Structure 1
């Protein structure tokens, strides 16, 4: 019997954890698979190992792992595969398929543009946009954010757009915001490229409030319904480049 194991990042924020679980409950209601479980890579429970064990206890004979990650970086390339490899050695009879992260998709970029327009009804070409990512030491992250910048620029046609990061990459959020404020002639629209609430989003909210009315911060991405659709599609159809751990 097929099972789906969703793997979120995890957070120390109870609000963020509850948001992730509520989001995934909505996804699970749309996916016609008998066994579905939620797990987290770190900081929240249940763990990947615990979630997998629940799948086994419910009769799973194969498990598709769906990472709830926006982009491919260290967690996707190393941490989750390492966890699953250890699990696979304990359950060699159960095939494990690891699906891909969301990646830069046109429908996600469309959703971001809609969130901006909903929050800034009088958006003009003189406004500027700052995209704030979680950050990673993986160089592919910069490539991805260049694509995201280009896609948002094409959709919103603002004066300037740039990206910054909350950890593990440059420029840092505080520096990126200050530079943008110095260069911007009108408002700065801050887009947190994050799915849920959490300590990182709290940092963004705090700094945006400190900088006053010239800075407008947009909601995290999971506020748009299309993000549920993205996960449903991955869960039901898989991805083009699945990594089959056992062979």
Structure 2
């Protein structure tokens, strides 16, 4: 019977998509690698923007060809795409294909497996710097930045966990755009506080224009602070922990295990955005904080300019101009 369930299921990875095709290729490579690890699973891939196949079309095709579709976002933090666009696409596919069951998994999020990846990257950077004193080595967790405070808060949580799990006295948070502080300001503060080495940890799954920019920024900082040694790690989309998290998402969907972050597929968040589009006023916050399974308490900050640092603003609601920003750490730009 489990084998039959596998045949009846389509697992649909949802990647962000990038203007830089190297980032899209890496997500396709991840998909191929996951298929090789799970040859009995039917795994398909789609993108929210900038690359094909597109989310809505892929969902409709999967629903027409499967008894059940398991939608698994390959996205680190939850801003507009995770809270609004993916659930909206799922609802549309459900309406168009009532014969198919479509289940949505949560994004990867702040978790111990992701922390394990960051800690391993930090250890590698310290080795590259010949193992300097961690008390004089600052750490900067650098992410995309979002107008959604919940998405930024997930990164803040990871920075705090890195601090508590290690010996570094300074673990700071910086963003490549949309919100503050930026990398240059954080490094300036760390140097003023006496840091003689700085490790930059990009919080990104795959490459893209922002990863390229980060490495250029670190080169500029080396010239600006010749007395400070810098190490900058790479993005981290192919680690065993990421595959394990994706496996877990699928198995939980199949087992009917609820996730408090998605018990409602982002319902209240989208209802408020819909009402705002009709002139209604709300002052809700929606952090999808972990709750007991079955709790339906919401609170999300509805500032919907989700930004991607792609040079465009995407204000929900819904003006998709060429070049809009959605603010997801961990996805290519």
User: CA RMSD, aligned part only?
Assistant: 2.2
Aligned position for 2:95: 89
Aligned to 1:124, which of 133, 152, 169? 133
Match of 1:65, SS?
strand
Alignment of 1:70-219 (within 5 A): 70-121=76-127, 122-125=131-134, 126-212=136-222, 214-219=229-234
TM-superposed CA distance for 1:144, in Å, is 1.6
Aligned position for 1:35: 42
Moved more, 88-97 or 233-242: 233-242
Distance of 1:37 and 1:203 partners within structure 2: 30
**Contact 2:71/2:104 (<8 A) preserved:** yes
Relative contact order, CA 8 A, sep 6+: which one is greater? Answer: 1
Q: When the two structures are superposed, what TM-score results if normalisation uses the length of structure 2?
A: 0.68
Alignment of 1:44-59 (within 5 A): 44-56=51-63, 59=65
Aligned position for 2:248: 233
**Contact 1:97/1:244 (<8 A) preserved:** no
TM-superposed CA distance for 1:32, in Å, is 5.5
Q: Which stretches in structure 2 are left out of the alignment for 5+ residues? A: 1-7, 223-227, 266-333
TM-superposed CA distance for 1:31, in Å, is 3.0
TM-superposed CA distance for 1:13, in Å, is 1.0
Q: Deviations over 1:152-206 (max 9, x none)?
A: 1123311211111123222233433443344342111001000011011111111
Q: Deviations over 1:121-174 (max 9, x none)?
A: 114221000011111111112322222112111233112111111232222334
**Contact 2:145/2:152 (<8 A) preserved:** no
Aligned residues: 245
Distance of 1:54 and 1:33 partners within structure 2: 20
**Contact 1:188/1:215 (<8 A) preserved:** yes
TM-superposed CA distance for 1:25, in Å, is 1.6
Match of 2:246, SS?
helix
**Contact 2:60/2:97 (<8 A) preserved:** no
Distance of 2:81 and 2:23 partners within structure 1: 18
Match of 2:43, SS?
strand
The 1:13/1:21 distance shift into structure 2, 3 A limit, reads same
**Contact 1:3/1:64 (<8 A) preserved:** yes
**Contact 1:9/1:41 (<8 A) preserved:** yes
Q: Which protein has the larger Cα radius of gyration, Structure 1 or Structure 2?
A: 2
Q: When the two structures are superposed, what TM-score results if normalisation uses the length of structure 1?
A: 0.90
**Contact 1:104/1:147 (<8 A) preserved:** yes
Distance of 1:54 and 1:88 partners within structure 2: 12
Distance of 1:185 and 1:77 partners within structure 2: 38
Q: Which stretches in structure 1 are left out of the alignment for 5+ residues? A: none
Distance of 2:47 and 2:242 partners within structure 1: 18
The 1:30/1:54 distance shift into structure 2, 3 A limit, reads farther
**Contact 2:207/2:235 (<8 A) preserved:** yes
